[in-house]
Structure 1
Amino acid sequence: MTTTTIKARSQGREATRPRGRAAWFVLPATALLLVFFFYPIATIVWRSLTEPDAGFGNYTALLHDGLSVKVLVRTLVTALIVAATTLVIAYPYAYAMTKVRPRTRAVLTVIVLLPFWTSLMARNFAWYMLEQRGGPIERFLGLIGFDGVVLLGTVAGVTVAMVQVMLPFMVLPLYSAMEQIDPRLLDAAGSLGAPRWRAFGRVYVPLSVPGMLSGFSLVFIMTLGFYITPALLGSPQNSLISQVISERVSKLLDFGGAGALGTVLLGVTLLVLFIVSRFGGPARALGGAVTHD
């Protein structure tokens, strides 16, 4: 056996040792995921297929139950509106964070993080006081000609509150993506004769698409499972899917039907993640093409 072969084998053993040690560090996190995440999900799916009878009866009932389908559609539409609205509001805010001085950026960051330091219940009760009958929002709408408009107990009132709650989850991914964009690219596009607005639309926006996709998917998925805000600010007539699941478990003891609703919601979440992953690659490739062009 030659000296070169011995050195190659010894280097191979040394390279595999850190990998084996790293696997031990991953083991506790994997065990936690299996016990507290995958096992409950598997239990929910199993009960949706076995209670009260084995088969797809719970899923068939959902398709023939007009109420469940209506609630699911309402939840999806609400999540889309919340995600789109937060994107429209957060995009200029995140862009401004990349253009101001470090001290001003720190202030803007604190403003974004301030909701995280406030209890979710406190924020929802604050919106309850604002949206209730005779509250500030109704009085303001009355001043501009919309008399008798009460947001409390409506889908619109729930949507407005969820936009405020979800806004930081859109700003932070957008800022993370925009911070990595070289501002000299806009100057280069301007030196080639492109107007400022066209350079922004053709160069800056494509480079920020990964952040837009990350923020949109995060807000959309989190909004699908929101419970506290719809429960406090909504109504039984305009309930979302989380309220229906809670109703079936706590009052009707319909664990199979609730599990079927939860499984459908999980399927929608996985579908959104799949779509984002499919579009995320082309978006990064487009950003790279813009950078190299």
Structure 2
Amino acid sequence: MTFLISVLLLPCLFWDKGPETINQLRQARITRIAVPPSLAESWKNVSDIAIDTADPSRLEKVEAPGVVLRPEISSATHAPWVNSNGWRFLRNAAGHFLCQAPGSAAALATAEAFMFGASAAIHTDDAGLEPFGQMLSFLGRLRNDDFSPLVDIGFIDDGTPASGEFMNLLIRRNLLFKVVKRPDPKLDLTVALGSHDYPRSEAQNPSLLAEKVRSNLTDQKRLLRIYGSEVVIGRLVSDRRCARLFLINYGVARSPVHGLRVRVLGKYANPTAMQFDSADTSLQDVSNDPSGIEFTLPELKTFAVIHLCH
């Protein structure tokens, strides 16, 4: 299966329609697709679009990211419920995923897969082609540097649903972690469900566990802090010379986020921003102190990239 052995720097469109739709793809500026094996033969003579094959039965299915209405949860926490696939991508870093994302959700799904470095195919409908193509074009503007994730926390994942929900809450709280097999002395904190600090008896309340992680790490050591929104998730990567902060507004279908305040730990100067659906993105109220940098993004629609250099 070509898709599974390809090196995917960007998410790919999974397209289960025939070559009679070629003009739709061209109009959306899509130059690469993955098709099911049953359609591979019919696409082989198309020359201006790269064709991979992908068997959807061999891809891990994930839902479209976004904010969903769950009154039974939000009424207790006064917080919207964010559907993020980040924990699934981190749990199975070598996996290959298929995300069902119709319409404008295709852009959000593409940005999320890119932000978490996932090998993902996005399955969308006719209405999603243009948003997908636009996001892919935006992501293609980013230089292909050797960036690695910056994290505070090592999470020892036992593969259980409870650990999955624990990781999900860490991501939603912007507590940056990576999955490890054993404690990493280079990290500030190691977390494992079932350990003394995070007993399984508390697994029914993952929000409590996530708050324990935050308390044990301390806010002073957090690499990333986001103020003013509960629907924005960030991911920080670096090549040692510079860093990039990716920011996704999971609630974009409902409204942009205004006045987003961000703090990044480390000595950085002259941050600049670029945003998927905004031609001019200027950061405001930039301030530095000995331990970090803070700034305000006046408006976050879908996806923004903040460039930080030492």
Q: TM-score range by the shorter chain?
A: under 0.3
Q: Higher helix fraction: Structure 1 or Structure 2?
A: 1
Q: Higher strand fraction: Structure 1 or Structure 2?
A: 2
> TM-score, normalized by length of structure 1?
0.24
Q: Highest relative contact order (Cα 8 Å, sep 6+), 1 or 2? A: 1
> TM-score, normalized by length of structure 2?
0.23
